[in-house]
Amino acid sequence: MIVENLTVTAQEQLTSNVFKMKLTGDSVAEMTDPGQFVHMKVSNGIDPLLRRPISICDVDLNAKELTIIYRVEGKGTKILSERNDKETINVLGPLGNGFPTDHLHEGDVALLVGGGVGVPPLYYLAKKLVEKGVRLKVILGFRTANDVFLEEEFNEIADVTVTTEDGSKGIKGYVTDAIMQIEEVYQSYFTCGPTPMLRAVQQTAKSDGFVSLEERMGCGVGACLACVCDVAEEYIADGRKYRKACSDGPVFRAGEVLI
């Protein structure tokens, strides 16, 4: 966990409101776990005051280059989208626990399900799994064809199905509609996206899996208890009835926390 001023090396607009940014700096060398996130101070001063959590989408360890993909939601991400090449951004990270992959072995099949800006962290995960020889079924859900991003990149390394709510691209409907069409057996699934989607995926998927949560954060490091989630009865350990999304998560075993 390091705080460093990373230098912006690229900023690219992917859709009407989604941007891809690349940043470089020494701390990127620590960003080895897909599913972890960085906590970004998008501007100096107090406007806005707090950091913004953004998932690690890809890392080039040699070039010490981090890629993030983010959607402009409010003030913070708007400012982020206006930051230019060569400017620096204060970044705290990597934070949290990412997607575990030790349980998967060469030849296994893994299902990756992403929705909207839940897609980015799955890309770094996909690369790691492919390296391991794990075969992937990837389902990416968006609202419309215009909102789709990262499809090509995923296509290069995996079998990808896109769903759109209006059917303007791929399967019409939700990611769960695509999950139900999978006939192959998969050993594990990994999912990230809006909470209702996570709930639906948990119910639909036919294996154990891991979900990555979004919670409002204060500190991002486990100190303020802003981001707690209740734990399912059977996961209570040492009397701890909650988990902190920032430091225990953001990735949890499906079913561990109540969402």
Partner 1 sequence: MSQLRVELPGLSMKNPVMPASGCFGFGQEYGRFYDLNQLGGITVKAVTTEERPGNPTPRVAEVDGGMLNAIGLQNPGLEHVTQHELPWLEKYDIPVMVNVAGFVMEDYIHVSKHLSKVKNVSAIELNISCPNVKVGGIQFGSDPEVAAELTRRVKEVATVPVYVKLSPNVTNIVDMAKAVESAGADGLSMINTLVGMKIDVKTGKPVIANKTGGLSGPAIKPVAIRMIHDVSQAVKIPIIGMGGIHTADDILEFFMAGASAVAVGTANFVDPFACPNLISDLEVRMNELGIEDINDIVGRSWGKCNDVLSSSR
Ligand X SMILES: Cc1cc2nc3c(=O)[nH]c(=O)nc-3n(C[C@H](O)[C@H](O)[C@H](O)COP(=O)(O)OP(=O)(O)OC[C@H]3O[C@@H](n4cnc5c(N)ncnc54)[C@H](O)[C@@H]3O)c2cc1C
Ligand Y SMILES: Cc1cc2nc3c(=O)[nH]c(=O)nc-3n(C[C@H](O)[C@H](O)[C@H](O)COP(=O)(O)O)c2cc1C
The DSSP line for 167-201 is SSSSEES-HHHHHHT--S--SEEEEES-HHHHHHH
Assess 1 for contact with ligand FES (CB under 6 A).
Answer: no
92 binding partner (options partner 1, ligand X, a second copy, none; Cβ < 5 to 8 Å by kind): partner 1
Distances (CA, A) of 224 to 37, 110, 229, 235: 17, 35, 13, 22
Which of 204, 228, 232, 255 forms a contact with partner 1 (CB under 8 A)?
A: 228
Q: One symbol per residue from 32 to 51: x for binding ligand X (CB under 6 A), - otherwise; what is it?
A: -----x----------x-x-
Residue 241 interacting partner from ligand FES, ligand Y, ligand X, none (CB closer than 5 to 8 Å by kind): none
Q: Which of residues 59-118 bind ligand X (CB under 6 A)?
A: 68-71, 73-77, 117
What is the closest distance, in whole angstroms, from the C-beta atom of residue 76 to a second copy in the complex?
11
CA-CA distance, 117 to 18, in Å (whole number)? 8
CA distance 148 to 18: 9
Selected from 215, 232, 235, 255, the binder of partner 1 by CB under 8 A is: 215
- Of 12, 26, 47, 73, the one binding a second copy (CB under 8 A) is 47
Smallest distance from a second copy to CB 75, Å: 8
Is the Cβ–Cβ distance between 241 and 203 less than 8 Å?
A: no
- Taking the C-alpha atoms of residue 8 and residue 84, their distance in angstroms, rounded to an integer, is 7
